[in-house]
Amino acid sequence: MSYMYKIGVIGDKDSVLAFKALGVDVFTVSDRDSARRALDSAARDKYGIIFITEQIASLIPDTVSRYDKEIVPAVILIPSNQGTLNIGMDRINENVEKAVGSNIL
């Protein structure tokens, strides 16, 4: 049960352009609709890991959380070049609260 998946990055152009040099597929988006479309089509398109900048993810929380229960793809938030919004950390804490019942970290 294995399959070669691709890796993608979604974010604003300034943040994600650098990833292109590493052989990661880059989708530059600027608004909510294009972000949602990019994420959905990437998920359909056999991307195993999709990195998405927190700025963009904060626009489309529903779409991001839709992939939480699936094994593939893993949607991972990364800070953008404007710094972190702490959404990624919040999501970890959310997981802890959901599992343990209170935040123990």
Partner 1 sequence: MAVLEVNPTRMELTRLKDRLKTATRGHKLLKDKQDELMRRFIELIKENKRLREEVEKELKEAFEAFLLASAVMSPEILEEAVAFPKESISVDIKKKNVMSVRVPVMNFIRSLENDEGSIYPYGFAQTSPELDEAISKLYGIMPKLLELAEVEKACQLMADEIEKTRRRVNALEYRTIPELEETIRFIRMKLDENERSTIVRLMKVKDIINKES
User: Two tokens at 83?
Assistant: 């710094």
Do you find a cis peptide bond into 61, omega within 30 degrees of 0? no
Contact 65, 50 (CB under 8 A): no
Separation of alpha carbons 38 and 59, rounded Å: 13
Q: How far is the CB of 25 from partner 1 (least distance, A)?
A: 9
Separation of alpha carbons 66 and 4, rounded Å: 22
Is position 7 an interface residue for partner 1 (rule: CB under 8 A)?
yes
Is position 87 an interface residue for partner 1 (rule: CB under 8 A)?
no
From 2-10, 32-40, 56-64, give the range in contact with partner 1 by CB under 8 A: 2-10
Residues within the interface to partner 1 (CB under 8 A): 1-7, 14-15, 17-24, 48-49, 51, 68-69, 71-72, 74, 76, 78-81, 83-84, 88-89, 92, 95-96, 98-101, 104-105
